[in-house]
Amino acid sequence: MGNTAHSFAAAADAPACLPPERAAALLADLRLAHQDLLGALGGLEALTSHPEPDAGRYPGARWRLSLASRKRRQLTSAACAELLPVAPPVEAEAIERLRRDEASRLRETAAHIHAWPTANVSADWAGYCAASLLVRRSMRARIAAEQAALYPLLEHFARGGV
């Protein structure tokens, strides 16, 4: 993504702005959602580092991850919807890319959940750990992409930028 301040200064037809209070609230909520999701990813990572499944703990860890992911997805969707009409073209492209990528990530997540019900996890712990690692890497990459695309814009508007 380009330099946000430069992109706004270069925009010939200055876009409407996102109110600073709303931008600041979205930014704070999204940062918290990312932090919560990273924590949930870490919790599942710790469990999958064990040689055997902890049947009393991993279903709860998966549930926490699911809830944190849903919250992140809702906030990202809201941020994208509010930023897209006011973002300069380069940043708008990055936002559109995030929106498109989310649909394929949802399908991947659904396929993973379908392939790994609790009985399958217990029956093939090593296979689940390997599959879970790939999903966790994908989720971390997604968080990094959201931070790179959304945080600078939200910070810009939170400071009162237009």
pLDDT tens across 18-57, in order? 999 999 999 999 999 999 999 999 999 999 999 999 989 9
Mean pLDDT of the chain: 91
From the list 114, 107, 84, 106, the residue with the least C-alpha distance to 97 is 84
Whether 97 is in a domain gets the answer: yes
pTM over 0.85? The answer is yes
Whose CA is closest to 102, among 139, 128, 68, 131? 139
CA distances from 129 to 47, 79, 113, 119, 122 (A): 9, 32, 13, 14, 11
Cβ count within 10 A of residue 160: 11
pLDDT number for residue 152: 97
Which are the contacts of 55, defined by CB distance < 8 A and separation ≥ 6?
118, 122
Both tokens assigned to 32: 């918290």
Q: Report whether pLDDT(86) > 90.
A: yes
pLDDT at 101 over 90: yes
**What is the domain range of residue 45?**
16-156
pLDDT reading at 13 higher than 60? no
Structure tokens that stand for 56 in this block: 């009393």
Residue 5 in domain: no
- Give pLDDT, residue 9: 47
1 lies in a domain? no
Q: What is the tally of structural domains in the chain?
A: 1
Alpha carbon distance, N-terminus to C-terminus of the chain: 18
48 and 128 Cβ atoms separated by less than 8 Å? yes
Instruction: Tell whether 102 is covered by a domain.
Output: yes
Structure tokens at 121: 């996890």
Half-sphere exposure of 116 (CA within 13 A, CB side): 21
**Cα–Cα nearest to 71, from 34, 108, 38:** 34
Q: Place 161 in a pLDDT band, splitting at 50, 70 and 90.
A: confident
